[in-house]
Amino acid sequence: MADKLTPEQRSWNMSRIRGKHTKPELLVRRLLHAKGYRYRLHGQAGSPRLPGNPDLVFAGRRKVIFVNGCFWHFHDCRVGQHAPKANAEFWAAKRERTKERDAGQRRQLEDAGWEVLTVWECELKNGSALESQLVRFLGTTSLGHHSSAGQQRS
C-alpha cells in the first residue's frame, strides 16, 4: 500500500512524535502513583543521568522502568514487526541500531547495579496483568502494601 502522505507531510508528522510524557508512559505513571509508588522521571537519579534516560526511576530500590512503543523499539509483537515498505533499507538499519542501543543501555544499567523492566505498549491492553507485573517487579510500597488507592486503611 502506497503512503497517502507526501514526503513533506510524513516528515512533519514524524517530527512531532516525542519520547517523553507519552500516552503509554502516563498510563503506567498513573497506575503506579495510585498504588502508592513514588518515582523520578527520565533518568533522574542524581547526577549524571542514567544510561538511556529510563522513563521511571525508583532510586531507593535501584530499579528503573522503560515504557517502550512497540513500533519504535521493534518489539516482537505484530505492531513491532511491521516495518514500513517505503525506504526499507533505512528502516532495517534503524531497527538494528535501536535494538543494539537499547541492549547496550540495559547492560550499562545492570552493570551499575540497577534492575531493569521494559513495559511494552501492547502490554497496556491487559491492565490487571500489567499491574501484577509492575507490583512483582517493584515489591511492596513504602506503606508496606500494594492495595488500591481507593481502599481505606486502618
Q: Tens of pLDDT along 124-151?
A: 999 999 999 999 999 987 655 544 444 4
Cβ atoms of 138 and 37 closer than 8 Å: yes
C-alpha cell at 98: 535501536
Q: What predicted TM-score, i.e. pTM, was given to this entire model?
A: 0.77
Q: What is the mean pLDDT of residues 20-49?
A: 85
Alpha-carbon gap, residue 104 to 46, rounded angstroms: 21
Per-residue model confidence (pLDDT) at position 87: 84
Residue 154: alpha-carbon gap to chain centroid? 35
Per-residue model confidence (pLDDT) at position 146: 47
Could you give the domains of the chain?
19-138 (3.40.960.10)
**Residue whose C-alpha is closest to residue 19's, from 59, 72, 76:** 72
Per-residue model confidence (pLDDT) at position 65: 97
Per-residue model confidence (pLDDT) at position 43: 74
Measure Cα distances from 135 to 18, 83, 115 in Å.
27, 33, 14
Q: Tens of pLDDT along 70-97?
A: 877 778 887 767 777 888 898 889 888 9
